Structures are given as structure tokens and as C-alpha cells.
Amino acid sequence: MPESRVTVKIPRPLYERIQQVIEESGFSCPTDFIVFVLRDIVGDRALERPTPPPDRDPPRPTRRSRRSGASCTTSDTCKEPCRDDCPPRWTPDQPPRDGEQRDKLLARAKAAPKLKLNAREMADLEMIAVGAMSPLEGFMGSADLKGVVTGHRLANGVLWAMPVTLSNKGLGALKIGQDVALEDESGHLLGLLELQERYSFSKEEEARGVLGTADKTHPGVMYLDSIGTEYLGGPVWATDLPKYDFANEFRLTPRETRVLFKARGWNTVVAFQTRNPIHRAHEYLTKCALEVVDGLMIHPLVGETKSDDVPARVRMDCYKVLLEKYYPKPRVTLAVYPQAMRYGGPREALFHALCRKNYGCTHFIVGRDHAGVGSFYGSFDAQAFMRGLDQAELGIQPLMFENAFFDKKAGNMATTKTSAATNPEDMVMLSGTKVRDMLRAGQRPPVEFSRPEVADILIAAMADKVKAPA
């Protein structure tokens, strides 16, 4: 029986534009590219990305030109200045030239000592592998860590915000130059570390320099206390990325988001980082930002968070229903950010901004108490820190916002810049923390806090949590 075919006629200028974008993207064929773009623009999340063959080349850490600040992953021997359209060396959608390199890595890993990664280290490996943490090519050595702790810069002077380290977990007989196989908790091989350094670093110095505190109740300090005293530094090769059982269709790499932005014709894109459901205050800030850029990427963090944070699975349901009903579809996209939360306040605000620059964003929202926890940071410490940076060196424009609230007199969301209200009783202040407290108490968040559809999802999730066996 003959195949059914559909012929679609399009204007030649549009055809030529599509061809240009495909050529710039590095996709192996027009079909792969079209499926990818249609999935986002049409909103058909059932369209899956092509499955890579088992002998694909592994992802390789990206390199960064200090001249331009753009990711370059074309070649180790590339001498050209880095450009935003440099094709990556590897992505899950692009079939490799051959599997010889991967086979060699697998053989090396088989003979190497095995090191299991914790949740943060797995997320960091993935971020390095796909280029989201460029210019890092692996886990930090002592010089880079020292530079980041004391002055938010790598040893070569490049701006960087947070330590990205690998803790040794009992491997004693390791020699410099040796391979170390990196595994997930179930023993599945994720990559290979080429060991360049074994070193120790003061946990207190690291905590005070990066987090601004050595208080044992800070989640970041608790993490440092939970890992070993020795770090392993060196470049990494990823043989596989971590496997997930949710939100896989939203796990776009920096290469994919850059292609998506080009396909949509977005020259300016603002990223919104969140570890909470988007309540009314967040919605207001993102829509204000959307007034000054071409597109908005909702980019929630779905790596490890505190146990009392709303789970990523629940949050994803909230984001999807909110975007479906309350945002302009042609100007907004949803993708997930696989990193683990550090709760690093001002430093982590810079960290989030630099990584979003790698995803192709030109602007980044910095709101109240960005990446904060408890009372460790002031409401606008992160904004003050970001303002003190050289904006040209930063390479992504921070958008600073005041505390948003519901103005009872005006009947809408506002900030102190846009509201005539002067009486605190006329201002309903909103926060993710307050929403969580209400849910724990069995109270329905009012419409001033959350959209009804979001509130329904959160209430159902909290009820399921209460019913779950201990």
C-alpha cells in the first residue's frame, strides 16, 4: 500500500530561512530539526526527540573564548574566535560520525577505579557535558577553587561564581594521570575523570567565602559537612547523561535552546529561574520582563533541593497549566534546568545568570532574595551584588525587580514603583514560603497568592503527601 504524503507549499523566503537555521543548528537532517521546533511551537509534547544510536560519541565539555564569552565546541584545534553559532561536538539529537571514541572511553572506564557521584555531582557532570557550565571542562582543581572562593574568578581570571567540585569517597590508591570511572548511585557509568589533582580545602573557608556563613544550619554548609575532605580535579568525558523518568521532553540543552530561539526569531530572551511554583508575584515579574524582550524562557531548577521545597514533578504540572492559560504561547517557552540548588544567595544569582548565558539568554531576572534560604541573606543582597559587577564582562543583562505584592485598592499586582498604596494593610505580600506554610496547614491559598489551577495542583499534592505511608 503506498505511503500517505502531505505536500505543503511555503513561500521561498520562508524556505530559505528554514534552510539557513537548519544549517546553523548542526542538526543532522531537516526532519530532526522540524520535529524539535514543532514540538515547542505547536505544543505537541508527544513529539519525541529522535533517539540517539547506542554507539554515539560522548558529550564533551565546552570551551570558552575569553574574547567573546561565547561557547565554542567545534574542535580542540579550532583557532577561530568563538561564535554563538559554532556547532557543538555532541548532543543527544545528532548522530555521531562513528563510535570509536566512545568505545575507547568505555574500555578505559572498565579498567578504572569506580567512584559513585552524589546528586549534586551528577547534575554538575551533566551541566558540564552539555556546555551549560562553560568554560568548565571538568571538576575544579585547587587553583580554580581558591580563585572562586576568594574572588568569584577562576585561576585564569574568568568570572565564575560557585565551586564545582568532586569529592573522593574512599578511593585511596589514586595516582595523578589515572582515569576514574564516574557512576550514578546504581552503578551505571556516566563518564570518565582524567585525574589531574588530589587536594584538600578548608570547608569553613569555602563556606564563608561562597555562602557568606559557616552556620551549620545552612543547607550549603550541611552539604559540605556531608562530603569527604578530599577533592578530585580534572577534565571529564561523559559517556551517558543521567536518566530521568519525568520532564524529559523539557530537558533542552544549551544548543537546543539557542536553536529554538533562532527558530522563533527571538533576538532577546529573558530567563526566569525558580525552585518554587510560579505564584502571582512571579507571574507579574515575568510579564513585566516580557515587555522589554522578544521571548521568555521559564527555566525551573529540577535538580536536588531541600526536602521541604515543592517537588519538581509537582512544580512542572503547575508551570504547564499556568503557561497554557495565562501566558502568550508564541512568546514563552518552558525548559528545565538540571542543576542542584546551592542556596548560595548572591553568588548563586551570578551562577544562574552565567549558566543562562550559555543557554543563549540575553537577560536574566533577579528578584527578591534570589537563591536565598531562611534569613541568611537580605532581600536585595543578590541584586546589590549583581549591580557591582562589570556588566560588559557579565555578558547577560540582569533585570532587577522590587518586591511584588497584590494591591488591594488597585485590584492587581504591583510593586512599590507602580502602586499608590502606602498602608501595609492594602498590600498582600506573596512568597513561596508563605504558600507552603498555608498548604501544610491545610489552607487554600487565596487568588491573591496563586492562580486557582495552580492552587488545585498544590493542594492535591499536599494531600497525597499526607496520605503516603511513613
Q: Which are the catalytic amino acids?
A: 275-276
The number of beta carbons lying within 10 Å of the beta carbon of residue 398 is 21
Q: HEC profile for 394-454?
A: HCCEEEECCCCEEECCCCEEECCCCCCCCCHHHEEECCHHHHHHHHHCCCCCCCCCCCHHH
- In sequence order, what are the beta bridge partners of 366? 400
Longest dimension (CA), the chain: 75
Alpha carbons 119 and 142: distance in angstroms, whole number? 22
Please report, for residues 273, 303, 314, 331, 416, the alpha-carbon distance to residue 464 in angstroms, rounded to integers and kept in the order given. Answer: 27, 22, 11, 34, 38
Please confirm whether the linkage preceding 135 is cis (ω < 30° from 0): yes
In 40-111, the DSSP E strands lie at: 63-64, 71-72
Q: Is the CB of residue 154 less than 8 Å from the CB of residue 265?
A: no
The H or E element that residue 236 is part of is strand 230-238
Alpha carbons 415 and 190: distance in angstroms, whole number? 46
Alpha carbons 191 and 61: distance in angstroms, whole number? 11
Please name the amino acid found at residue 328. Answer: P
